[in-house]
Chain A
């Protein structure tokens, strides 16, 4: 168990009372997040609910207006660099250096993280091969598809064997096979003691891999429990139905019909 020894006794990631205001408008309010080693927390919410803002606060890329982020009981802003050494992060948007190749990008990240050259080379080749993009390893990223970029991002997040993984819609652009691999990968990493925050729109993935689910709506946590408990409490068969009841204001079928009507309008 590679990760277990490093995570032994760790308290994982904790965000308490996280609030973010832009020009006095709070986009996230009083959010509490706890991710323990070996846990996968699903983080759900509709577009614009504040998921990515929370994720950026938890990674230290955006400073909260109020609240604290602790890793293993220590405020991450006390030593942001030490925290990031143990963090693997896949952002929502696949922003990469377009003039680098996939291999060069991973070399850059690996060297910045001071991985030994031989180990880095071995890891890069293995990860690219396992993700099925080794044949494009030396092509510039600008020529990559969205899914290929996503695979590079996931590989970069795993290169240094982090204790904590924050994945913001990591399945974006991936094909069905890759999504299945990702789902199993998350379960396997959690089994090895990693703390994982998994933000996603795919309810099925969240339901399968997450031990607990948090639902964010308009910047506020509206549910925080295991998916089984949530289904039981709200008397629904699926997480999708729970999510719909918590955050979907209008009848989707009605909205869809209205959209079709607008599309069919004639002068």
Chain B
């Protein structure tokens, strides 16, 4: 079999992975790819330079201190490469196998199934490799050079450091990629196609939230891991996969820094010499672990690659369309529908309420938005606990602002994700149906979407956190916290939708000006959630949590009245507002 068809198919699959699965089909591919590439390169450059400050501005950088600090950096780069590649792989989860489109288009062609499968696999590897290269190239070149700029390292030693860093982060990225592929493969092989079709979206969402949270928490985790590394009793932490690859990196080139000659005599002050000796001893203590970790890295990477490869070939051995997704149990659908209709009375509001739930829970790109906001919320909650607890260490343990901030932080993050999701069309080509059937006013549609948002992103998190707060404080306090969260969440939801005039999920998507909105949004998020937590803490300590909840409820009612007044006059909007063409800013269109 000539490699012609395989090459062509690889290019086809690669293009489709980028066009259909990563970038919106309506976006300009060149512009989007340039932006993603530029963003990855700048991120790498930024992290490398910021991370190298402590080497560049240390007037007495010694080999011992440098090798110890390098452990932290190596963990950060390795873990970032691994989690970012795993995240990307999860984003294209549906494209990780020969799918229905491939089966229907290519199944009739005189091409062997194994050629198609090999081409798909090559496209996936090329896709992940391109991403990993864009993310890791700059840090691999710059970070080692900046790290040793004040040490006496030869050119060959520097080259070895650069090549090793490049190799190790590439291996870590490969591990992230193959691990996701292997998990998918194992699930599909064990569950069969029908059950897998039902379970896959849930698994993807769980993995997305976990990996995205891990990625966002990396700076915090990295500092803790590097500390734990030096404490023998905390070696359980070293089960973390990035550490295996750090071990490999240290085995390959760790001795270059560790065994550099130390300055002697008056050139090194005694305090610095003592610090270097201490760092050298700590590094030597950790060094005994490196060979085992390096071996684990090689063995686990090989194992996960083989598993992913074998299961990919096995699961795709037949070109067949996947079975149709199973229907929701009728009694469940009817039961929920009847209950919801009691709360949501108007047919148009009902239409929007049910459609919002269906779009959010079933549309892949909406699930993705929500998974990202949940991951952000969880990460921000961890930071909130860390920061809030640290500033209140001297006070009584009860009602720390950090712990109380978990609820508003989580709800606010989810509501921001929801506010974004309603602007994204559920299916652009199908919008005509809503356009033809709606009755001229968006008020009831937005009301339906808000009820669905309140249910999913206010009520559910509040209820989920009640046992947590009940364990931490008392059941009565937990109820008070829940009431405050509920009223605050409803007010926040109402506030976020005050200026929203379009049809939820049924209009063309026009990206917001993130350069302006993102910083404002971020600082508002920090400010309001912490203000909320502090005021809630004061209310709980003074026993007036019910009053605080009532105040928030009055704020919610006031916002609803403002909203109703604003929506009395119908404001016009475009259904099919398309993104501006990429040449517009250059004045060419």
Q: Is A178 an interface residue (CB 8 A)?
A: no
Query: CB-defined interface of B427-441 with A at 8 Å, one 1/0 digit per residue?
Result: 101101111111110
B324 touches A143 (CB 8 A): yes
Task: Return chain B residues, CB-CB under 8 Å to A98.
Answer: 427
Residue of A107, A112, A139, A142 most packed against chain B (CB within 10 A): A112
- Count A-side interface residues using an 8 Å CB cutoff: 37
B347 touches A114 (CB 8 A): yes
Q: Is B105 an interface residue (CB 8 A)?
A: no
B432 touches A104 (CB 8 A): no
Task: Return chain A residues, CB-CB under 8 Å to B438.
Answer: 81, 112
Given the contacts A104-B354, A108-B351, A156 and B433 also touching, CB distance less than 8 Å: yes
Q: Is A218 an interface residue (CB 8 A)?
A: no
Q: Which residues of chain A from 85 to 109 have a CB within 8 Å of any chain B CB?
A: 85, 87, 89, 91, 93, 95-101, 104-105, 107-109
Query: CB-defined interface of A218-241 with B at 8 Å, one 1/0 digit per residue?
Result: 000000000000000000000000
Closest A residue, CB atoms, query B355: A108
Task: Return chain B residues, CB-CB under 8 Å to A129.
Answer: none
Q: How far does the Cβ of B205 sit from chain A's closest Cβ, in whole Å?
A: 15
Q: Is A66 an interface residue (CB 8 A)?
A: no
A113 touches B437 (CB 8 A): yes
Task: Return chain B residues, CB-CB under 8 Å to A192.
Answer: none
A104 touches B427 (CB 8 A): no
Q: Which 8 A-B pairs have the closest CB atoms?
A: A143-B324, A111-B351, A81-B440, A138-B327, A99-B362, A95-B429, A112-B437, A111-B347
Residue of A93, A111, A156 most packed against chain B (CB within 10 A): A111
Query: CB-defined interface of A95-136 with B at 8 Å, one 1/0 digit per residue?
Result: 111111100110111111111110010000000000000000
Q: A99-B359, A110-B351 are in contact. List 19 more A-B contacts (CB 8 A).
A: A61-B432, A93-B429, A95-B433, A96-B427, A99-B362, A100-B362, A104-B358, A105-B433, A107-B354, A108-B351, A111-B351, A112-B347, A114-B348, A114-B439, A116-B347, A138-B333, A139-B327, A140-B325, A142-B324
Given the contacts A95-B427, A156-B433, A112 and B351 also touching, CB distance less than 8 Å: yes
Task: Return chain B residues, CB-CB under 8 Å to A89.
Answer: 436
Closest A residue, CB atoms, query B321: A143
Task: Return chain B residues, CB-CB under 8 Å to A97.
Answer: 358-359, 426-427, 430, 433
Kindly state the separation between the CA atoms of A81 and B430 in the bound complex, as whole angstroms.
Answer: 18
Q: Is A155 an interface residue (CB 8 A)?
A: no
Closest A residue, CB atoms, query B437: A112
Kindly state the separation between the CA atoms of A110 and B363 in the bound complex, as whole angstroms.
Answer: 21
A112 touches B348 (CB 8 A): yes
Q: Is B393 an interface residue (CB 8 A)?
A: no
Q: How far does the Cβ of B334 sit from chain A's closest Cβ, in whole Å?
A: 10
Q: Is B350 an interface residue (CB 8 A)?
A: yes
Kindly state the separation between the CA atoms of A157 and B333 in the bound complex, as whole angstroms.
Answer: 24
Residue of A61, A98, A100 most packed against chain B (CB within 10 A): A100
B324 touches A139 (CB 8 A): yes
Kindly state the separation between the CA atoms of A80 and B327 in the bound complex, as whole angstroms.
Answer: 36
Q: How far does the Cβ of A95 sit from chain B's closest Cβ, in whole Å?
A: 4
Task: Return chain B residues, CB-CB under 8 Å to A109.
Answer: 433, 437
Q: Is B287 an interface residue (CB 8 A)?
A: no
Kindly state the separation between the CA atoms of A91 and B341 in the bound complex, as whole angstroms.
Answer: 31
Task: Return chain A residues, CB-CB under 8 Å to B354.
Answer: 104, 107-108, 111
B324, B351, B426, B436: the one within 8 Å of A84 (CB): B436
Task: Return chain A residues, CB-CB under 8 Å to B2.
Answer: none
Kindly state the separation between the CA atoms of A47 and B376 in the bound complex, as whole angstroms.
Answer: 50
Q: How far does the Cβ of A119 sit from chain B's closest Cβ, in whole Å?
A: 11
Task: Return chain A residues, CB-CB under 8 Å to B430.
Answer: 95-97
Query: CB-defined interface of B388-430 with A at 8 Å, one 1/0 digit per residue?
Result: 0000000000000000000000000000000000000011011
Q: How far does the Cβ of B336 sit from chain A's closest Cβ, in whole Å?
A: 12
Task: Return chain B residues, CB-CB under 8 Å to A108.
Answer: 351, 354-355, 433-434
Task: Return chain A residues, CB-CB under 8 Å to B358.
Answer: 97, 99-100, 104
Task: Return chain B residues, CB-CB under 8 Å to A113.
Answer: 347, 437, 439
